[in-house]
């Protein structure tokens, strides 16, 4: 016996609402990204790599400052 937290009617409603927001799932509920969304994600994570480099530098400065106050 299978179990789902949403019934068939709720799943239908979800598909309509999500479609309006540009979100699509396959029949198993897996999110399917469009090519445009994949390109956006690619850019997002490339930027994030740079963001983390900056954060690491900022953290080093904060730690150095703390050490100076101890």
Partner 1 sequence: MSDIIFNAFKANIMNGTIDLDTDEIYVMLTTDAFTATADTMEFVCEVSSEVTGTGYTAGGVILGDAAVTVDDTDDEGVFDATDTTWASSTLTARYAVIYKRTTETATSPLICCIDFTEDKSSSNGDFKIAWNEEGILNLN
Smaller CB separation from partner 1, 22 or 68: 22
Cβ-in-10-Å burial (0-12, 13-18, 19+) of 25 comes to middle
Rg (CA), the chain: 22
In contact, 10 and 18? CB cutoff 8 Å: no
**Shortest reach from residue 64's CB to partner 1, in Å:** 19
Binding site for partner 1 (CB under 8 A): 1-6, 10-11, 13-14, 17-18, 20-23, 25, 28-31, 33, 41, 44-45, 48, 55
**Shortest reach from residue 35's CB to partner 1, in Å:** 15
51: helix, coil or strand? helix
**Shortest reach from residue 15's CB to partner 1, in Å:** 8
């Amino acid at each position: 016996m299978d179990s789902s937290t949403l019934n068939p009617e709720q799943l239908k409603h979800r598909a309509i609402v999500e479609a309006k927001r540009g979100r699509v799932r396959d029949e198993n509920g897996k999110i399917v990204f469009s090519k445009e969304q994949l390109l956006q994600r690619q850019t997002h994570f490339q930027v994030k790599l740079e963001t983390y480099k900056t954060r690491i530098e900022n953290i080093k400065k904060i730690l150095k400052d703390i050490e100076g106050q101890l």
